A and B are shown apart, each in its own frame.
Chain A
Amino acid sequence: MVTTKRTSFNVTKIRKDFPNLRVKVHGKPLVYLDNAATTFKPQCVIDAIEKHYKTGTSNIHRGVHTLSEKATLAFEGAREKIQKFLNAAKPSEIIFTRGTTESINLVANSYGRAFLKAGDEILISEMEHHSNIVPWQMLCEEKGCVLKVAPINDNGELIWEEFLKLLGPKTKFVSLVYISNSLGTVNPIKKIITAAHKFDIPVLVDAAQAVNHRPIDVQELDCDFLAFSGHKLFGPTGVGVLYGKTALLERMPPYQGGGDMIASVTFEKTIYNVLPHKFEAGTPNVADVIGLGAAIDYINSLGLENIGSYEKELLDYGTAVLKKIPSLKLIGTAKEKVAVLSFVLPHIHAHDVGTLIDQEGIAIRTGHHCTQPVMKHFGVPATSRVSLAFYNTKEELDKLAKAILKTKEIFHE
């Protein structure tokens, strides 16, 4: 981390780094509160991608010409930045994917198919994103494994005793979300990993909503796999990361076959490349990996500790502002949570809220947030979700409250 000391967070200055914040919607200044869906990109990320395409376009790991060498260096440089960002032991433990979803699918397909068998149990939680449910269901269907689901309470927190009860000799894999996208709940991930390791169960951490809010140290957590997406970390879409421990990645068969993942190919036998290339078949997303590297430099320059404390301030303010709105009900009131505020209004569907506050230039997510089991738990078809980033302000939250009150007025509620 570049800086961990508390400094006053200069939001006005930071906002200038994000050109997308200057957009107007319906003639009004955009208030972007949908950061759990995707985040805006700072100019330096856009510049890095543009620079690659304008002056550095080349494939990597192949040519000996100057541009190819430069692109390879930039690409592998980004891998090292991510290694340091997560404090992974080696750069080769960082696998580039298309996003969190592909990272989880990689583990389910490679590790799951090779090492899980009929009757083995896979443990997830009730608050998982569909991307951490469906790949495991597909695996269960194919291999005859059994999916177990740890329940949550009405605050949207994992019920620890129930989770422990579900861990046992039959459990062969645990895949859990670090921070819930629809509730903001922060799971006690370190405790979860320690508990699973008592039974020698590998743990995958879905960190899609965590990497942008708090520092992560994979060695300290001792997680076996960790997945995240670049676009939720102020980087480009189409690039994500799978971290895996070397010992596990070495044992796992490739996920996809093709170029770059081989050491040698004959029609009789192919010898696979070493890590991380074994899991990176085909030409990777060079430009966006470089862009993600730039995003990580940017985050480091602000400091995740500083980001976290500013966002906590926003969360407290936003919670207070929303609680003042008569009949509004917050969904997800965990003690440990990040700046995500899901809410429902009786008699007004989330989509109507979304459309009406969009009229005020405010962007929020409305729907089930790819977490239908969570919606079922709370007995609602959908929620309105406000998700904040460090470039949001208290003034924006005031505008949100005003727009919600106006919506209630239109609906005579």
Chain B
Amino acid sequence: MSSDAKNELYQQVILEHNKKPRNFKEMPNATYFAEGYNPLCGDHLKVYVHLNEAKVIDDISFVGDGCAISKASASMMTQSLKGKTVPEAKILFEQFHSLIKGSLNPDKDPNILGKLAVFSGIWHYPARVKCASLGWHTLNGALENKKAITTE
């Protein structure tokens, strides 16, 4: 992997979300909540989801400590899930999971990933895949009412 690969991983949009994570707040009245840990690195995230009466995610947020990849991934996750239903969120989770494992090519395979495609290069870095997935696994745990999630 050369400097191209590096740019592929640390793209400006990721660095920018790392510096200014969106929806970075606690949510006392959350409908769903879970904590996620990555025992490999000690990263720790909390994800909050609020559903309105129509069962649409009208608010979603996270707090925690992590690397640029995990923070940017969680931040972009919250952006892309606002306004989605729980089944839609699950589809996005599955697609994102396939993307970071390298089994979904965002340029060829049909998907609703949008901006999240920026994480497509991460499967070149097996040790970092878990960083990108921590927020999503935590979200999935929250939606399934599991309070504590680990990526191990």
Cβ of A64 under 8 Å from chain B = no
In this complex, the interface size class of chain B, counting residues with CB under 8 Å from chain A, is 20 to 34
**Contacting residue for B9 out of A355, A382, A412, CB 8 A:** A355
| Segment of A34-42, A170-178, A366-374 engaged in the interface with chain B | A366-374
Contact, CB under 8 Å: A26 / B1: yes
Q: Which residues of A contact B6 (CB under 8 A)?
A: 356, 359, 410
Cβ of B69 under 8 Å from chain A = yes
14 A/B residue pairs, CB under 8 Å, sorted by A: A26-B1, A27-B2, A349-B66, A352-B69, A355-B9, A359-B3, A359-B5, A368-B41, A375-B42, A381-B43, A410-B15, A411-B10, A411-B18, A411-B68
A410-B10, A412-B15 known; A367-B42 Cβ under 8 A: yes
Considering only residues 126-182 of chain A, those with a C-beta below 8 Å from chain B are none
Q: Which residues of A contact B19 (CB under 8 A)?
A: 347, 412
Distance (whole angstroms) from the CB of B71 to the closest CB of chain A: 8
Contact, CB under 8 Å: A382 / B42: yes
Considering only residues 39-78 of chain B, those with a C-beta below 8 Å from chain A are 40-44, 65-69, 71
Cβ of A350 under 8 Å from chain B = yes
Q: Which residues of A contact B128 (CB under 8 A)?
A: 351, 355
Contact, CB under 8 Å: B1 / A352: no
B18, B41, B131: most-surrounded residue (chain A CB, <10 A): B41
Cβ of A73 under 8 Å from chain B = no
Distance (whole angstroms) from the CB of B114 to the closest CB of chain A: 24
Q: Which residues of B contact A347 (CB under 8 A)?
A: 19
Closest chain A residue to B15, Cβ basis: A411
**Contacting residue for B41 out of A26, A350, A359, CB 8 A:** A350
Alpha-carbon distance between A411 and B15 when the two chains are bound, in angstroms: 7
Considering only residues 361-400 of chain A, those with a C-beta below 8 Å from chain B are 366-368, 372, 375, 381-382
Q: Which residues of A contact B44 (CB under 8 A)?
A: 381
Cβ of A348 under 8 Å from chain B = yes
Closest chain A residue to B7, Cβ basis: A410
Closest chain B residue to A348, Cβ basis: B68
Q: Which residues of B contact A367 (CB under 8 A)?
A: 40-42
In the complex, per-residue mask of B14-44: 1 if CB is within 8 Å of any chain A CB, else 0: 0100110000000000000000000011111
Distance (whole angstroms) from the CB of B43 to the closest CB of chain A: 6
B5, B67, B71, B127: most-surrounded residue (chain A CB, <10 A): B67
Alpha-carbon distance between A352 and B127 when the two chains are bound, in angstroms: 11
Contact, CB under 8 Å: B65 / A381: yes
In the complex, per-residue mask of A335-362: 1 if CB is within 8 Å of any chain B CB, else 0: 0000000000001111110011001000
A26, A350, A355, A382: most-surrounded residue (chain B CB, <10 A): A355
